[in-house]
Amino acid sequence: MITIKNESDTTEAESYEGVRILLLTGSEMDPNAAGAALKLKRITEGKVAVAILDPSGESLKDADATYYLDDPDFADSDCRATGRIASVLIKRIFPCDYVVCGTSSREGTSSSLAARIAKAHDMVPVFNVSAIDRSDDGSLRIIRNNEEESVTWKAVFSVSEGDWPEAAVESREGRHLNRIDIGLGVYSMGIKGSKVRIVEVGGDV
Amino acid sequence: MSEGCSGSCGTCPSGSTCDSTDRLPPGMLEHYNVSADTRKGVLVFIQTEEGSLDDSAAGILTLARNISDDRVFATVFGGIEVKELFGEIFSFGVDTLYHMRNRDRGYRPRSWARAFMDVAERVNAAVLLFPDTCIGEELAALCAAEADAGICVRCTDPKMDNGMIIARKDLGTRIAEVRFMYRPAVMVPSAEGLPAPVSDPDRKGTVINRPFNMEE
């Protein structure tokens, strides 16, 4: 069953002064990325916002805010342009401490997107994370590629399979943002802001 | 002087009667086109596992040789133990090999990516190739972000067609052609789509020792 909720708490999440987490997702929710975002929310007691790069996508039941990036000009964005859209969203709408990438452009991966957001905001890129926990010193203890590492602050994660909590998905009303809302020029996104063009050449796989 | 001009069009020098000899020689405008992309050649990241080449290295070096419009450059990270691999690396067609050295032998993604991009800028490479491995994908993502370049992960059939770099990508239900509109192009060719290795044991090349900074 799909429930439609009002996003009366979006403003509260935007002005929250504790830890803020942003989950980036596309038309389909990546269960690993969603689980990682929920785990971060639990161990940091923060607020999580879901930014959906496709208006047909769904949000999380436990999300504190939902954003739909809904503009025809966003179509056909490559990894570079998608990174710009996400970076401007973080800069102008939802500044956050942790970003979990659960989507990408067609030619890239979630790691490609994570690297661009990390570079734009001087955050630490952490790839292929399979577990996150809290250390005694307050930092995050993560496991990636079967090795343990520590992350202190401001990180962008791409997530692989792991023992993540199950995340319930639901449709939410959310806040719809177009390019004017986030303040992006037409040459920063879509085909005009992309370094690659993707042309379908036909032929089913 | 423009066609039909009698010397009073305003574009010719005053008092002169310009003719076709005043024009630039053919090709000079293209020669002085500072906006033209001068990047050429292919730079490959060679991954090693405990002193030997990664399984995909031979295929990816052969691919680099096949698609390159100029020289083939490569980087290999490690200590003195990788010197034994130089002959094998050159046999697959590498012209210049950068031996990236640091006392810390551990894999540090951001330091390695920065060191790799330093080489990429130095050699002015048009294509940056990474193996289809966990490390290769991570470095490709970081290098594409650093260079603000286009990326294609797990692509097949990369080639240069009339100066444009093109690859194919399996999108699950259909196949798409990925066209890089700018250089450099960052590519992670699919491990399954690599060509059969072509080796010439007599081939020689140049090794450049290049220490790099591990600070992240």
Q: What is the pLDDT of residues A164-174, one digit of tens each?
A: 999 999 988 88
State how far residue B183 is from chain A, nearest Cα, in angstroms: 9
Q: Where does the pLDDT of residue B189 fall: very low under 50, low under 70, confident under 90, or very high at 90 and above?
A: very high
A103: Cβ contacts below 8 Å, ≥ 6 apart: A24, A25, A26, A30, A33, A53, A110, A113
| Chain B residues within 8 A of A118 when measuring between CB atoms | 145
Contact (CB<8Å) A119/B170:
no
Q: Residue B61 belongs to a domain with what CATH number? A: 3.40.50.620
B82: Cβ contacts below 8 Å, ≥ 6 apart: B48, B51, B76, B99
Between residues B21 and B215, which one has the greater pLDDT? Answer: B215
What average pLDDT is seen over chain A?
A: 90
User: Shortest CB distance from B170 goes to which of A196, A199, A205?
Assistant: A205
Closest CA to A23 of A134, A81, A103, A131: A103
| Chain B residues within 8 A of A78 when measuring between CB atoms | 150
- Listed as own residue / partner, the contacts of B158-165 with beta carbons closer than 8 Å and 24 or more positions apart are B158/B63, B158/B67, B158/B127, B158/B187, B158/B189, B159/B67, B160/B67, B160/B69, B160/B126, B160/B127, B163/B69, B165/B126, B165/B127
CA distance B149 to A49: 29
Query: In this structure, is residue B16 part of a structural domain?
Result: no
Query: In this structure, is residue B188 part of a structural domain?
Result: yes
**Mutation for A interface: B151, B178, B186, most A CBs within 10 A:** B151
The topology under which CATH files domain A10-188 is: Rossmann fold (3.40.50)
- Report pLDDT for B17: 52
Of the CA atoms within 13 Å of residue B135, those in its CB half-sphere come to 17
State how far residue B118 is from chain A, nearest Cα, in angstroms: 17
Q: Which chain B residue lies closest to A81 (C-alpha atoms)?
A: B150
Contact (CB<8Å) B176/A119:
no
**Mutation for B interface: A197, A200, A204, most B CBs within 10 A:** A197
Provide ipTM, 2 decimals: 0.91
Query: In this structure, is residue B171 part of a structural domain?
Result: yes
User: Shortest CB distance from B150 goes to which of A80, A109, A201?
Assistant: A80
Contact (CB<8Å) B146/A107:
no
- Distances, alpha carbon A8 to alpha carbons A36, A55, A65, A175, B133, in Å: 25, 19, 9, 10, 44
Q: What are the structural domain ranges in chain A? A: 10-188
Query: In this structure, is residue B73 part of a structural domain?
Result: yes
CA distance B71 to B91: 14
Q: Which chain B residue lies closest to A128 (C-alpha atoms)?
A: B134
B188: Cβ contacts below 8 Å, ≥ 6 apart: B129, B130, B131, B132, B136, B137, B140, B151, B152, B153, B154, B155
Query: In this structure, is residue B176 part of a structural domain?
Result: yes
State how far residue B109 is from chain A, nearest Cα, in angstroms: 9
Q: What is the pLDDT of residues B99-145, one digit of tens each?
A: 999 888 889 999 999 999 999 999 999 999 999 999 999 999 999 99
Q: What is the pLDDT of residues B137-166, one digit of tens each?
A: 999 999 999 999 999 999 999 999 888 999
Number of structural domains found in chain B: 1
Q: Which chain A residue lies closest to B188 (C-alpha atoms)?
A: A108
Burial status of residue B9 (CB atoms within 10 A of its CB: 0-12, 13-18, 19 or more): exposed
Q: What is the pLDDT of residues B26-78, one digit of tens each?
A: 777 767 777 777 899 999 999 998 889 999 999 999 999 999 989 999 999 99
Torsion angle (degrees, nearest 10) of CA A27, A31, A36, A41 = 70
Per DSSP bridges, beta strands B164-170 and B174-180 are: antiparallel
Neighbour count for residue B191 (Cβ, 10 Å): 16
Of A174-178, A201-205, B5-9, B122-126, the least confident: B5-9
User: Shortest CB distance from A201 goes to which of B134, B153, B175?
Assistant: B175
Domain residues for the domain of B100 are: 42-211
State how far residue B168 is from chain A, nearest Cα, in angstroms: 9
